């Protein structure tokens, strides 16, 4: 172990609920600053650490995650430095990370390497969301002014939205995460051969233990415990939002949460007197990007995440069997089951798959959820010295995956890079796309119930094995609701915009 071995030495979280007696309606900057103070105090103290920060990096909120995104109450022009100002720090470098839930783990991976090379001495990462407060105040007719002119240096890394979804899907009505993940989920259901009811119960069995973890987490937005049936059964309070997802199966975006992670080197930690009881080591990591959804051979799989997970474990000299604690990104069930299954973890494995309670219950704190996962993981590993933890952070539409393997156990630093993994992914073959198809067989589908009338999106294969996307409304959607769409034969025609429209659907016998 060299003096430049990178370590995490502090983590912090902040949260508030609109029904709490001490609710203050904090802005995103204020929530992130509260988490940052907690992280510095976790290591030593704000006063002792803040002057030594030479880098801060922020995760963007949803309301600043696109060129045309609107922050209803205004925004800071330099989010990372707005937070740094509040903790008395003036770092030489500030970064605003691209959009995506992989961002927090990617920052840890990137700057662990920078610290090991002596390029960065002490780095603080943070992010936050105040979506619940924004919606609450707007519903009450109240306004706030959160605009702030900070100025100063900031490295804006772009939005990172390129290539997440193509017009084949967006043009037929699949644009949002819930619609895309529903397509992935039903593709997995097709593989399992389960009925809608049986598969819903399987998803419920996956997430029921997550609710128990959230129940004990003081920062969780929902602490209500549900059994599998309570999650799977559609009721007025658990309405179906997009087949196959009831409301309780999807990420909870109404959250007011902030989290922060502090990294440095062994030498710097010793210089500042940070106790070794706070140190946690990164044993392995990986960062990859998947193909756009329509370019993937198997819509039920996430092979890029599997590749990254295996690479990170190999770098750590471990297998999945050696991991004691997991946090697998859980915006939707398939984000968990894909990685779980690829790691060979049985559905009845007693090891926890979340340390927070997961995005549907703890809260889907925008792009920053995995900062909370890392913070909770660090605390869990400190409480269990020598154990190994695995954080899998997902972004986009099963699009970007970053992995970190952690332990309090000291280990020599092993540099890693993911260029070779990415080259492999980029070389994977793409499915052939059909031009003006006349019909085919349904590979996967979803029915979006978020409109005035349900809308169907289907991915199909022609008899020649070429892929196409189609849309359905009216009577065809009602057929999809009443009968099994998977494996059905469809006839399609093209409308005036060139979109494939289902004109007939025949369920599989």
What pLDDT, on the 0 to 100 scale, is given for residue 281?
98
In tens, the pLDDT along 10-41 reads: 999 999 999 999 999 999 999 999 999 999 99
Three-class SS state of 160: coil
pLDDT digits (tens, 9 = 90+) for 226-264: 999 999 999 999 999 999 999 999 999 999 999 999 999
What's the pLDDT at 347?
96
pLDDT at 1 over 80: no
Q: Which value, to the nearest 10 degrees, does the dihedral of the CA atoms of residues 12, 15, 20, 22 take?
A: 60
Residue 357 to residue 211: CA distance in whole angstroms: 6
Per-residue b/e over 392-415, b at no fewer than 16 CB within 10 Å?
bbbbbbbbbbbbbbbbbeeeebee
Q: Determine the pLDDT at residue 261.
A: 99
Indicate whether 316 pLDDT > 90: yes
Instruction: Give the DSSP letter of residue 311.
Output: H
Q: Is the pLDDT of residue 154 over 80?
A: yes
Cα separation values, 232 from 50, 204, 245, Å: 47, 5, 8
CA 199 – CA 190 distance, rounded (Å)? 10
The answer to whether residues 478 and 507 touch, using CB atoms and an 8 Å cutoff, is: no
Parallel, antiparallel, or unpaired: how do β-strands 55-59 and 93-96 relate?
Answer: parallel
> Rounded to whole angstroms, what are the CA distances from 388 to 203, 317, 324, 341?
26, 11, 5, 19
- Percent of all residues in the chain with a pLDDT value above 70, rounded to a whole number: 100
Separation between Cα atoms, residue 204 and residue 168, nearest integer Å: 31
Contact criterion met (CB below 8 Å) for 288 and 312: no
Structure tokens at 293: 């959804």
For the ranges 298-307, 410-419, 449-458, the one whose mean pLDDT is highest: 298-307
Q: What average pLDDT does the segment 151-176 reach?
A: 92
Query: What is the pLDDT confidence band of residue 452, given thresholds at 50, 70 and 90?
Result: confident
Q: What digits encode the pLDDT tens for the residues 47-104?
A: 999 999 999 999 999 999 998 899 999 999 999 999 999 999 999 999 999 999 999 9
Which pLDDT score is estimated for 298?
Answer: 97
pTM of the model: 0.97
Q: Rounded CA gap, 322 and 332, in Å?
A: 26
pLDDT at 141 over 90: yes
Query: In Å, what is the CA distance from 33 to each residue of 43, 106, 362, 413, 466?
Result: 16, 21, 20, 30, 51
Domains and their CATH numbers in the chain = 6-163+253-426 (3.40.47.10), 439-506 (2.40.50.840)
Q: What is the pLDDT of residue 248?
A: 97
**Whether pLDDT at 166 is above 90:** no
């Amino acid at each position: 172990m060299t003096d430049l071995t990178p370590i995490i030495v502090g983590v912090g979280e902040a949260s508030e609920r609109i029904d709490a007696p001490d609710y203050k309606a904090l802005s995103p900057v204020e929530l992130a600053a509260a988490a940052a103070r907690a992280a510095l105090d976790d290591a030593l103290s704000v006063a002792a650490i803040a002057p030594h920060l030479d880098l801060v990096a922020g995760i963007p909120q949803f309301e600043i995650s696109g060129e045309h995104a609107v922050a209803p109450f205004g925004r800071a022009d330099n989010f990372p430095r707005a937070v740094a100002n509040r903790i008395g720090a003036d770092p030489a470098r500030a970064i605003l990370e691209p959009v995506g839930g992989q961002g927090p783990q990617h920052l840890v991976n990137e700057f662990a390497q920078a610290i090991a090379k002596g390029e960065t001495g002490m780095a603080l990462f943070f992010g936050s969301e105040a979506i619940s407060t924004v919606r609450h105040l707007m519903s009450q007719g109240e306004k706030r002014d959160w605009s702030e002119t900070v100025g100063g240096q900031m490295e804006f890394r772009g939005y990172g939205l390129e290539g997440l979804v193509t017009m084949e899907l967006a043009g037929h009505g699949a644009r949002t995460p819930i619609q895309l993940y529903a397509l992935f989920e039903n593709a997995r259901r097709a593989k399992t051969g389960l009925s809608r009811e049986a598969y819903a119960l399987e998803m419920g069995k996956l997430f029921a233990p997550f609710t128990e973890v959230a129940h004990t987490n003081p920062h969780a937005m929902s602490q209500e415990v549900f059994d599998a049936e309570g999650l799977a059964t559609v009721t007025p309070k658990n309405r179906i939002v997009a087949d196959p997802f009831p409301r309780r199966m999807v990420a909870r975006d109404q959250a007011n949460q902030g989290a922060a992670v502090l990294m440095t080197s062994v030498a710097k930690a010793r210089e500042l007197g940070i106790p070794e009881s706070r140190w946690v080591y990164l044993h392995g990591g990986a960062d990859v990007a998947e193909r756009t959804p329509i370019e993937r051979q198997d819509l039920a799989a996430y092979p890029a995440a599997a590749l990254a997970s295996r690479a990170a474990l190999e770098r750590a000299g471990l297998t999945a069997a050696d991991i004691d604690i997991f946090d697998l990104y859980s915006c939707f069930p398939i984000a968990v089951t894909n990685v779980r299954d690829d790691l060979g973890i049985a559905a009845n494995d007693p090891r926890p798959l979340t340390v927070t309670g997961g995005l549907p219950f703890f809260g889907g704190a925008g792009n920053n959820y995995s900062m909370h996962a890392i913070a909770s993981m660090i605390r869990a590993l400190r409480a269990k010295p020598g154990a190994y933890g695995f954080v899998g952070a997902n972004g986009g539409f099963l699009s970007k995956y970053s992995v970190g393997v952690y332990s309090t156990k000291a280990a020599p630093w092993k540099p890693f890079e993911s260029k070779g993994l990415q080259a492999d992914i980029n070389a994977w073959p793409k499915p052939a796309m059909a031009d003006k198809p006349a019909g085919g067989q349904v590979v996967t589908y979803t029915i979006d119930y978020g409109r005035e009338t349900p809308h169907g999106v289907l991915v199909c294969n022609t008899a020649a094995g070429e892929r196409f996307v189609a849309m359905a409304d009216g009577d065809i959607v009602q057929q999809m609701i009443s009968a099994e769409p998977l494996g059905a034969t469809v006839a399609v025609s093209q409308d005036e915009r060139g979109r494939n429209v289902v004109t007939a659907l025949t369920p599989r016998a």
